[in-house]
Structure 1
């Protein structure tokens, strides 16, 4: 029982690290999969396979080499010198994504809950600090709550979609996009999310230690991500192309279930943004701790304050300017991760 509790904690942490604002709102599913029509079912399968295979490989590699942070893993993949530069770029990426998540939390407070934007930012900062002082234990505990709730709402969205006139669109929807772009999309999606997830998966792999727990946690977590992607695609396809006009497509899918569940869904979206913020800031602080020799307790409030100041730029501006840059770096990381063999097992 203790072992399977560990497996579930690993899988929840994995899912919670990957599933952020873009996933919860439906924008990521729409942009990377649903707009490509019926072929999205197959490309989701490719992403799911990569999440299972490389998620396991990442955690076990980190465990094999006793990595203190993702920089140790990047040096293993890219070499000592190049790995240092890649880690620096990853550090910048993590900081950028952290500011995007923080700005997103303010947007949820102002646009969905009717509270002041700055109140949302400050509330999120204080809550993040309180939890991150506890480290990995807090990240795992929060994901154990948020991830099942998100899974429940995805099931509700699917239930609402079954029987609607467009329920079969996920198997018949056509797309005018070129095949190269369609098949490239799942690689880019998995690459970006796994590159960012290493900030938590590397220390998680070292902390857990038990390879079978890591392997099963990666399998369950990867499958869970894939099922949620497919469920979201199924529901969004039923409302194509009109659903593309909304900033929060999943919010439109659940608007018929009543105000109480709508409010809970908004809180779940906030929870997913928050778990990604926790994961990225945690990985960022560990990396800076290794590079600067400053203590975790000193770096944590400094990083959170810097995130606050940069987040003033705004959620949409940060999202549109930073994510394409991070995506290209992630592809190089993905290729080397696929090619790398585990030093302990001779393969992965």
Structure 2
């Protein structure tokens, strides 16, 4: 029972770290999966399997080398010289992502709550700072609350979709994309999200001594991510092609579920932004602290300050600039993780 409880905590944190604002909005599902038609269900299965397998390998490797931050993992994968370069690049991108998430939080306040964009930034920064003072415990706690609500909303969407016309359209949609583009898409999606997830999964894996709990947690996390991807894909497919015109496709589906569901969805969008934000700030603070012996609170304030400055650029501009670049660089990281996993398989009991 203790192992199962620990595995569930790992799984919920894993899901909450992967499922960010792009996922909850439906934009990532549409971009990486639904636009490829019926074959997308198979690519979702592939992505879920990679999440379960490589998520476990990442945490086990972090445990094996006693990693203090994601830089230690990158040095183990790339070697001392290139590992540091990759970590510096990751630090810049994670700073950019924190700016994106903070800008997204401000956008939720301005677009859905009729409040000031700057008020949204201020509330989010204060909540983030107060929670992160508690360290990894706060991240585990937030995801333990948010992810079950997200799963319940996913079940609600699934129930609504099965009763609506076009529920089986996900089995019939066609596409004109090449097989190369189709099968590269889930690899890009997995690589990008797993690389970002290092910020939390590496320190999480390093502090857990139970290898079985890590494996089970990664498996449950991969299944949960795959389930949510598949339900989102089926719901979006039922509303294709019109739903692809929405900036927030899942928002259009949520409106069909009634006012209560809309408010739950707004809460989830904000929560997913917030969980990604605290995960990235936490990972960045660990890396910077390994170089400079600054007080933890001062580091968190400094990172949040940079994020605030970046958030003034705006959500859409940051998203469209940073994410494509990081996605392709992440493919190299994914290839090295797979290579390392294959080489260490015979040594893993």
Q: Distance in 2 between matches of 1:57 and 1:140?
A: 20
Q: Distance in 2 between matches of 1:291 and 1:182?
A: 41
Contact kept in structure 2, 1:102 and 1:311, CA below 8 Å: yes
Within a 5 Å distance, the mapping from 1:167-178 to structure 2 comes to 167-178=167-178
1:155 aligns with 2:147: no
Q: Where does residue 304 of structure 2 map in the other structure?
A: 304
TM-score of the superposed pair, with normalisation by structure 1: 0.98
The CA deviation string for residues 205-262 of structure 1, in whole angstroms up to 9 with x for no partner, is 0112211111100000011000100010000000001001111111111212221221
Q: Where does residue 121 of structure 1 map in the other structure?
A: 121
Within a 5 Å distance, the mapping from 1:1-348 to structure 2 comes to 1-341=1-341, 346-347=347-348
Task: Give SS of 1:177's match.
Answer: coil
Q: Distance in 1 between matches of 2:91 and 2:348?
A: 28
Contact kept in structure 1, 2:3 and 2:212, CA below 8 Å: no
Contact kept in structure 2, 1:64 and 1:343, CA below 8 Å: no
Q: CA deviation at 1:55?
A: 0.2
Contact kept in structure 2, 1:59 and 1:205, CA below 8 Å: yes
Contact kept in structure 2, 1:167 and 1:238, CA below 8 Å: yes
Q: For the aligned residues, what is the CA RMSD?
A: 1.3
Contact kept in structure 2, 1:55 and 1:194, CA below 8 Å: yes
Gaps of 5+ in 2: none
The CA deviation string for residues 35-93 of structure 1, in whole angstroms up to 9 with x for no partner, is 11011001101101110000000000000000010111100000000000001111111
Q: CA deviation at 1:338?
A: 0.3
Gaps of 5+ in 1: none
Contact kept in structure 2, 1:61 and 1:343, CA below 8 Å: no
Equivalent residue pairs, number: 348
Contact kept in structure 2, 1:102 and 1:124, CA below 8 Å: yes
TM-score of the superposed pair, with normalisation by structure 2: 0.97
Q: Distance in 1 between matches of 2:130 and 2:226?
A: 32
Task: Give SS of 1:257's match.
Answer: coil
